[in-house]
Amino acid sequence: MAFTGENDRRERVTLLASVFLIALSGLAYELLAGTLSAYLVGNTILQFSLAVGIFMSAMGAGSFLSQKVTSNLLDTFVLVEIGISALGGASALILFLTYAYTTAYYVVLLGLLFSIGLGIGLELPILIRIIKDYGELRVTLANLLAWDYLGALGASLLFPMLILPHMGLMQSSFFFGLLNAAVVFGNLHVFGNRIRTRRPLFALASVVSAALLVGLFYSFHLVGWIESRLYDDEIILTRQTKYQRIVVTRWKTDLRLYLDGDLQFSSEDEYRYHEALVQPPMGLAGSPQRILILGGGDGLAIRELLKYPKVKEIRLVDIDPEMVRLCREDPLISRLNEGALASPKVTHTPQDAFKFLERNDRIWDVILVDLPDPNNEALCKLYTKEFYSLARHRLASNGALCVQSTSPHFVPRTFWCIQHTVQAAGFFVKPFHVYVPSFGDWGFALAALHPYHPEKLAIRGGGRFLRSDLLGGLFSFGNDMAEESTEINRLDHPILLQYYLSEWKRWD
């Protein structure tokens, strides 16, 4: 059957627009599930592999089942789209609640992905059968697939660059659910006289849309309520940036900052960590004037560096400008870092640390690597031999490098892998550790381009924790933290991520 005229054009445009929005929201649900799972559980590659694999296999199953639909194609399409709108729109809320209150997270995750993928796989063949009546199949099918791929492209660009940073995970989920609801109402309006169950479908879609709108407007409160179950203390600030989720909590005088669920500091004891990170390399380098910090956007290491009057320049390389802005402007955090980020000696470069070392040929007297733990592929890259080799070429001949190296107690193979990898990059390395109550026993790698003796280090002292007579003990390890044999962490073989994830499982 062929259609002509204005009505034909309007119906064809509606169907192609539906394909575009279905593809856009469908890929967005995959990205949401992978991102949320990486945030809650960790192991980014596994989470996204599961999301894509389950979703695609479910689409295949849905396509196979579509052959059973032999009549009422528009009714079936609209009903399935309502189901996708409800499940997809509420998916982030469901997953957050499941993680907070049950131990069945993966069961629910896979069930959601399979259900949404099944629905989308069912819809597309039905749409092909509907749209074939609007012209030559060769042309209509080409147009349908083109708009399907464009929708997927739209999601892949809009989700990470615009929607997630501005809306966050929960609100994004409700937003995409409402896009599916818009598809429903558009088709009910255009094809109303050909949809037999128009009224009940309209009523059902209205209920789902109303629920999604409520969720959209109250998503911030929902996230706050659920996250309060994931953190021990009162949440006083949350922020979703392009790169990470920032949560700040407070209990009495204890201020804590988390990135993607991982503790970065506690105001009660962070000075132990930062004095240990800063004072040994500053003592080893003699009288350093030019300091490079990779990571450390909280400004706490900079606070310690500014206590050295001979320091003339501090370059902070932290990829997330929102993190640095928060720690510079928030009154509680800026009080903790003593306004260090506003110092005229400090310059912030919002760039990936690896790219900075590749492209910047400046020589630095001290390089501090104060990055989050290597719990995903992007961070693991910053713990590779190649990364440390770049750092070696940017370090003065009498300079010093200090790397935060996770815990020699909780993740010993991870700790020793970092030591061995720094050494493999051409450094003389001495590992040391310090007890930080909120972290436990925490380790570092102190490296130079020449041999040195830790007991001869002259540190500034005068801080709240570190003294010269304590220094020797920091470089001693008990039998339970003795050196272990490990592989070298490389770009083409990020073994460190496997060590880290497998070792932390023992403590979950």
CB atoms within 10 A of CB 494: 20
CATH assignment at residue 456: 3.40.50.150
CB atoms within 10 A of CB 48: 17
Which tokens is 115 given?
A: 């259900």
* 370 catalytic per annotation: yes
pLDDT in tens, 212-221: 999 999 988 8
CA atoms of 423 and 107, how far apart (whole Å): 43
* pLDDT reading at 3 higher than 60: no
User: How do 364-370 and 313-317 pair as beta strands?
Assistant: unpaired
356 and 303, same structural domain?
yes
CA atoms of 397 and 422, how far apart (whole Å): 16
Sheet-wide strand order for 364-370: 346-349, 313-317, 290-295, 364-370, 395-404, 440-448, 428-436
User: How do 395-404 and 364-370 pair as beta strands?
Assistant: parallel
Residue 248 makes CB contacts below 8 A (sequence gap 6+) with: 235, 236, 237, 238, 255, 256, 257, 258, 330, 332, 333
Q: For residue 4, what pLDDT is reported? A: 52
Rg (CA), the chain: 27
Residue 352's identity, in one-letter code, is D
242 and 174, same structural domain?
no
Give mean pLDDT, residues 12-17. Answer: 93
Q: What percent of the chain has pLDDT over 90?
A: 78
247 and 205, same structural domain?
no
C-alpha to C-alpha distances, 125 to 61, 155, 278, 366, nearest whole angstrom: 12, 21, 62, 61
pLDDT in tens, 121-141: 999 999 999 988 887 778 888
pLDDT in tens, 18-49: 999 999 999 999 999 999 998 888 778 888 99
pLDDT in tens, 205-241: 999 999 999 999 998 888 888 888 888 899 999 998 8
Give mean pLDDT, residues 243-261. Answer: 94
Sheet-wide strand order for 234-240: 234-240, 245-251, 254-259, 262-266
Q: For residue 2, what pLDDT is reported? A: 45
Give mean pLDDT, residues 380-391. Answer: 98
CA atoms of 119 and 128, how far apart (whole Å): 15
38 and 19, same structural domain?
yes
279 and 163, same structural domain?
no
Task: Compute φ and ψ for 305, nearest 5 degrees.
Answer: -65, -35
Q: For residue 23, what pLDDT is reported? A: 96
CB atoms within 10 A of CB 508: 6
CA atoms of 433 and 66, how far apart (whole Å): 61
Q: What percent of the chain has pLDDT over 70?
A: 99
Q: Is the distance from CB of 32 to CB of 93 less than 8 angstroms? A: no
235 and 120, same structural domain?
no
CATH assignment at residue 65: 1.20.1250.20
Q: For residue 490, what pLDDT is reported? A: 97
255 and 282, same structural domain?
no
pLDDT in tens, 460-488: 767 899 988 888 899 999 999 999 999 99
DSSP H/E element including 303: helix 300-305
Handedness of CA 363, 368, 372, 374 (dihedral sign): positive
159 and 249, same structural domain?
no
246 and 185, same structural domain?
no
pLDDT in tens, 280-313: 999 999 899 999 999 999 999 999 999 999 999 9
Q: For residue 228, what pLDDT is reported? A: 82
Q: For residue 455, what pLDDT is reported? A: 83
Q: Residue 492, Cα to own-chain centre: how many angstroms? A: 21
pLDDT in tens, 138-163: 888 898 999 999 999 999 999 988 99
DSSP string spanning 230-286?
A: HSSSEEEEEEE-SS-EEEEEEETTEEEEEETTEEEEETTTHHHHHHHHHHHHHHHTS
User: How do 428-436 and 313-317 pair as beta strands?
Assistant: unpaired
pLDDT in tens, 90-100: 999 999 999 98
- Mean pLDDT in the chain? 93
SS (H, E, C) 109-169: HHHHHHHHHHHHHHHHHHHHHHHHHHCCHHHHHHHHHHHHHHHHHHHHHHHHHHHHHHHHH
Active-site residue identified among 298, 370, 480, 492: 370
pLDDT in tens, 417-457: 999 999 999 999 999 999 999 999 999 999 999 999 998 88
Q: For residue 201, what pLDDT is reported? A: 96
Of the three residues 264, 289, 316, the one that is the final residue of a domain is 264
Per-residue confidence band for 356, with pLDDT thresholds at 50, 70 and 90: very high
Task: Compute φ and ψ for 365, nearest 5 degrees.
Answer: -80, -35
Of the three residues 226, 245, 280, the one that is the final residue of a domain is 226
* pLDDT reading at 1 higher than 50: no
C-alpha to C-alpha distances, 435 to 29, 259, 369, 440, nearest whole angstrom: 42, 21, 19, 6
260 and 161, same structural domain?
no
DSSP 8-state class, residue 401: E
Q: Residue 269, Cα to own-chain centre: how many angstroms? A: 26
* pLDDT reading at 5 higher than 90: no
| Counted domains in the chain | 3
Closest CA relative to residue 463, chosen from 452, 471, 455, 475: 471
309 and 167, same structural domain?
no
Taking 3-state DSSP, the helix, strand and coil percentages for the chain, each rounded to the nearest 5, stand at 60, 15, 25
CA atoms of 248 and 267, how far apart (whole Å): 11
Residues spanned by the domain of 138: 5-226
71 and 161, same structural domain?
yes
- Encode 108-137: b = buried (16+ Cβ within 10 Å), e = exposed: bbbebbbbbbbbbbbbbbbbbebbeebeee
